[in-house]
Structures are given as C-alpha cells and as structure tokens.
Structure 1
Amino acid sequence: MLELLRAGPGRVQRLLIETGREFPAIAALAAEAEVPIELVERELHEDLVGPGLARGVLAVADPPRSWDFDDLLEREDGPRTRRGHRLIVVCDGIVDPHNLGAVIRSAEFFGAAGVVWARDRSAPLSPAAVRASAGASERVALSQVTNLSRVLERAKQSGDWWVIGTVVDAGAALRELAVDPPGQMLLVLGSEQRGLRRLTRERCDFLVTIERAGSLGSLNVSAAAAVALATLG
C-alpha cells in the first residue's frame, strides 16, 4: 500500500480502512495525495479480498499501466542491471499468482526493464500477485500480450535482442553465459509444471540451465528467476 501511494497516488480513488485500525504512514501519504479514506467493517474487507486475506487496509484504484511490448523493447530510459544490461523477464504460463508476484519482485530488485506474460493460461495481476510482489508491481513495467511466441519472434527479428530460455536440464550452464551476456536480453521462464512450451523453446537463441549440487530436480520458478537474474545481471 505504501508503494502504491508513493509510486502511483494518482491511480488511487479511495482507501478502505478497517474500523479500529490505524495506519499512520499510510494515512499521511493519503492526505498528501488528497486520497479520501473510508472507515469500514472487517466483513467488507473479507467480502472484497476473501476470508483471512484482509490486512486492515484496501485501496480502490485503477490498474497499473500495461505497457505495449514494442514500447518496452524500444525504451531507452528504463532500468538496467548492475552491469548496465537491458533485461526483460518473460513468463511462459506461470499460473500461481504468488509465483508471478515473486518474479516481479525479483525483476525489480535486479534491475529488469519489465515483466511480460500472456493474457491466457497465465496468472493475472491479482491482489495476491500484487501482495507477493511486495510493491514491485508499482515500480517495474508490466506487459500482457496475446501471443507470446509471436512477440518473441518479433524481438529476435529486430536484431537487437537475444532470447534466453531457462530449462531444467540439457541447457548450457547459466554461469558460462553470464561471463559475457548479451547487452539486451529476454529471459524466459517456463510454467511451474511443464516448463517452456515447444513454440517458446523454438524462439530461444540460447537454452540455459542452473547447475545444481543437490539431489532435487529443480527450483521453484520464482527462485529460479532470482538466481538467473542475479547471475546474468
């Protein structure tokens, strides 16, 4: 909530605060942005977000800006990684909103220029995803596209971007690519169960694997995202 009021106060129509609860920092930012506050009963919060999910304050707000994919590719003034690269995270069929939110959080933390995912068969930017992003959904550019494989092909045809897909096995070692990574990268993460789809794999210039020392077969997709972003960035 604090990040929403700091980064996008113009989107907030009003705040609903549970009767008997106080949030001084939030109230101060709301007053500064002239956002009205309504006191409501807890039952209304639970009706809106679900039992057990209410935390005392809700925002009624317009959705964040949805970036056009081509605008993300052409954006020169966006964030860069610590080594100065431009990197966009692409989610191929992530269906758990908590995973989506965690990926968005890692993307912002490591300086990614944006996060892209398909509108269909993917988790939406729901309240659960926003909460899991810990405010990052207000700080990083987000783009939902109709056809993921088509936009990846378009990025490749531009000649400026390299598409890097993450796979559990049989890819090149991630650390080897990280020695001298491309200056502009699309980092593609597969779904929780199936990984990258066939058409998505075919659009990748490189397939990389996070090397493991233990016996578990793979990382959770959000953990894999953090490792790959830290290594490539």
Structure 2
Amino acid sequence: MTQPPPFDSRPDHRDGRPAKTKKPTWVIDKERARRASAAETVWLFGLHAVRDALANPARQRLRLVLTRNAADRLGEAVPASGMTPEIVDARTFDRAAPLAPDSVHQGAALEVKPLAWGPLSRIAAEGTGGARPMVVALDRVTDPHNVGAILRSAEVFGARAVVATARHAAPETGALAKTASGALERQPYLRVTNLAEALNELKAMGYVVLGLDGSGGQTLPEALAALGNRAVCLVLGAEGPGLREKTLDTCDQVVRIPYAGGFGSLNVSNAAAVALYAASLGG
C-alpha cells in the first residue's frame, strides 16, 4: 500500500501555483502598525511652531499652507526651507489645512512626518559638560498642553529626553507643538512600548529613577542632595491617577515636592518644571 506524503503538496490554485503560507497574526499586526506609522503625518500650526519646524533639518516636511500675512511674518524662514508654500485667503484657510476648529493657527500650517529621535539608550547617554544628566518619564500623561509645557521646561533645564508610552500618552500633535513653543523640534520626545522596561534600561545605564508622588517619604531636594551629580530620571504621572503601581515598584525612590500650607498639589507640567530646576542645580 502506497504511503501518503508527509504533507499535502497539492496546489491550492487551479493554475498550479502553490498557495501562500498564512502569516501568523502577530506578524500581520506588526506589518499593519509599520504601514500605519509610515503613513502618519502631523499638521503643525502657529507661526512659532511652523518657523521652528521649517528650520529643523531633521524634520520631513510635506506641505506648507500660509496666508499672505503669515508668509510675510515668517520672512526668510520659508525660502531657506526650500519649500514652496500654498498661499491661501484667510477666509478659506480652514478648507486648505485640515486643522481642528479651535486651532489658533495664525495663518500658518505645515504637514510633517513625526520626528524619529532614535533609541533611548543613545539619547540618554548623550550630553556634554559636568551637569547632572536628566531624563523625564511620563506615566499616562495624555494632555498635549501638559506634555508641550514639559518639553519646553525639559529643554530649558537641559534634560536629555522626555519619555512617554506609545499608548495612553499624548502623541506628537499641532496642539502639543504650539504649547512647546519650538521645543518639540529640539527636545527628544521618545515613545516607548513599556515604561517599566525603559526605566530599567535607564537604571542599567546608571540613572537613579525618582518617582514623584505625594506619598513619598523623602522630599525631592533631600533625595537629590544624597545623590551628588548622579544621573536621574524624574517620573511623573497623570493628574488624579498619578503613577501606576508597576511604575512605583520600578522606581528606586518615591519622593515628594515639599509644599507650604494645606494644599500640596501641582499641575503635572508645573511639577516637572520645579523638579527639573531642582535636579539641574546638582549636588
């Protein structure tokens, strides 16, 4: 009796072509995510945000929509960028650039690709001088205005990166860029899949991870004074929920910002600015 072949070698197509092997679901999902990322674009708006994006050689720019007045105010930034703007009437601007109705665009909008900063390990290791290396990590901070303000403070005080999760965090948007007032073009904003893993990566590089929470037994100045000039990662959570339990467990220390009086709560962007200033003073 003839034994059957170890597998079915018959073609699945009438023309004799072999059937394609079905890809695993996780491979299909990964390819879809890659295609979606490649197709993603962001509309920046406002004179300051557009001017800084035009001056950023790392920014991939696709389409520039301006009113005549905005083009005049941007001056040499437009020809220096190599872009040819679409000049539109102010009354029809909203039809030319697909912005949210409440966007304060000042007659300037620029379609771009999100910035690619590279891996956390490289960005966190960069820097010059004897200043304390600093990184800010955000746990579920979804408000683009808060993240934009934090990016601005991070640039002012010399942080090497602001890290947030790929999900449940504010993405790169026009509102974020406008609040950042140009810092989005210069301050690395890294989105990671798993925040705890990113914190552990920083710890392996020598960073001390300080979680800011009202439950902290030690104040931030006390903790910083004991660290000298060691590198620190300041971790802040969303207003209300605060840091997740997993994030708290990953931190080396949980500290609090000291306050006077009976009210001890700060907006997350204000807390980030205070923490960055304190950390920038060194030990």
TM-score (norm 1): 0.89
| Unmatched segments (≥5 aa) in structure 1 | none
Partner of 1:2: 51
User: Does the 8 Å CA contact 2:146/2:268 hold for their aligned counterparts?
Assistant: yes
Deviation at 1:9, TM superposition (A): 6.8
Q: Which residue of 2 aligns with 1:208?
A: 255
Contact 1:15 1:59 in 2 (8 A): yes
Counterpart in the other structure of 2:174: 127
Aligned CA RMSD, in angstroms, stands at 2.0
Structure 1 residues 95, 115: CA separation in 2 closer, same or farther (over 3 Å shift)?
same
In 1, Cα distance between equivalents of 2:219 and 2:271: 13
Map 1:1-233 → 2, pairs under 5 A: 1-8=50-57, 11-18=60-67, 20-40=68-88, 41-44=92-95, 48-53=98-103, 54-73=105-124, 75-76=125-126, 78=127, 84-156=131-203, 158=204, 160-181=206-227, 182-233=229-280
- Structure number with greater Rg is 2
CA shift for structure 1 position 21: 2.4
Rounded to whole Å, the distance in 2 between the matches of 1:232 and 1:143 is 20
Which whole-Å CA distance do the structure 2 matches of 1:9 and 1:173 have between them? Answer: 39
Letter in 2 for 1:51: P
SS in 2 for 1:94: coil
Indicate the SS of the match to 1:88.
strand
CA distance in 2, matches of 1:9, 1:30: 16
What percent of counterpart residues are identical? 32
Gaps of 5+ in 2: 1-49
Query: Cα distance, 1:180 vs. partner?
Result: 4.5
Q: Report if the CA contact (8 A) 1:66-1:144 is conserved.
A: no
For residue 65 of structure 2, what is the amino acid of its counterpart? L
The one-letter code sitting in structure 1 at the alignment partner of 2:61 is V
Q: After TM superposition, give the deviation of residue 38 of structure 1 in Å.
A: 0.6
Provide the residue aligned with 2:5 in structure 1: none
Higher strand share: 1
Poorly superposed stretches of 4+, deviation over 4 Å = none
The change in CA–CA distance for 1:9 and 1:145 in structure 2 (over 3 A counts) is closer
Whole-angstrom distance in 1 between the partners of 2:261 and 2:244: 26
TM-score, normalised with respect to structure 2: 0.74
Determine if contact 2:71/2:78 at 8 Å carries over to the other structure: no
